[in-house]
Amino acid sequence: MKTEQNSTWTLDLAASITPQITRILRERIIQNDLKPGDQISESELARGYDVSRQPVREAFIKLADQGLVEIRPQRGTIVTRIGYFAVLDARFLREAIEADIAKILATDPNAAPIADLRQQLTRQVTIGRDDPTAFMQLDETFHRTLAQAAGKAGAWKQIEGLKSQMDRVRYLSLGEIRVDKLIEQHRAVVDRIEAGDIAGANSAIRFHLREVLNDLPQIIQGNQQFFDLPDGDMPPPVNAPIQGGNIA
32-to-12, 26, 38, 96, 186 alpha-carbon distances in Å: 23, 10, 10, 27, 26
CATH of range 83-232; options 1.20.120.530, 2.60.120.1440, 2.30.110.10, 2.170.270.10: 1.20.120.530
Q: What is the pTM of this model?
A: 0.83
- Of the chain, the end-to-end C-alpha distance in Å amounts to 50
Give pLDDT, residue 128: 76
Write down the pLDDT at residue 237. 59
pLDDT at 76: 86
pLDDT confidence of residue 212: 83
Listed by start position, the domains of the chain span 7-80, 83-232
Per CATH, the number for 7-80 is 1.10.10.10
% helix, strand, coil for the chain, step of 5? 65, 5, 30
b/e burial code for range 23-62 (CB count within 10 A of at least 16 → b): ebbbbbbbbbbbebebebebeebbeebebeeebbbebbeb
- What CA–CA distance (Å, rounded) separates 163 from 86? 9
* pLDDT for position 163: 87
Q: What is the pLDDT of residue 7?
A: 58
Q: Please give the DSSP secondary-structure letter assigned to residue 129.
A: T
pLDDT averaged over 10-residue windows placed end to end, the chain, 248 residues: 60 89 94 93 91 94 93 88 90 93 97 97 88 89 96 89 87 82 96 98 95 86 89 65 46
Task: Give which of 194, 208, 197 is closest to 143, Cα–Cα.
Answer: 208
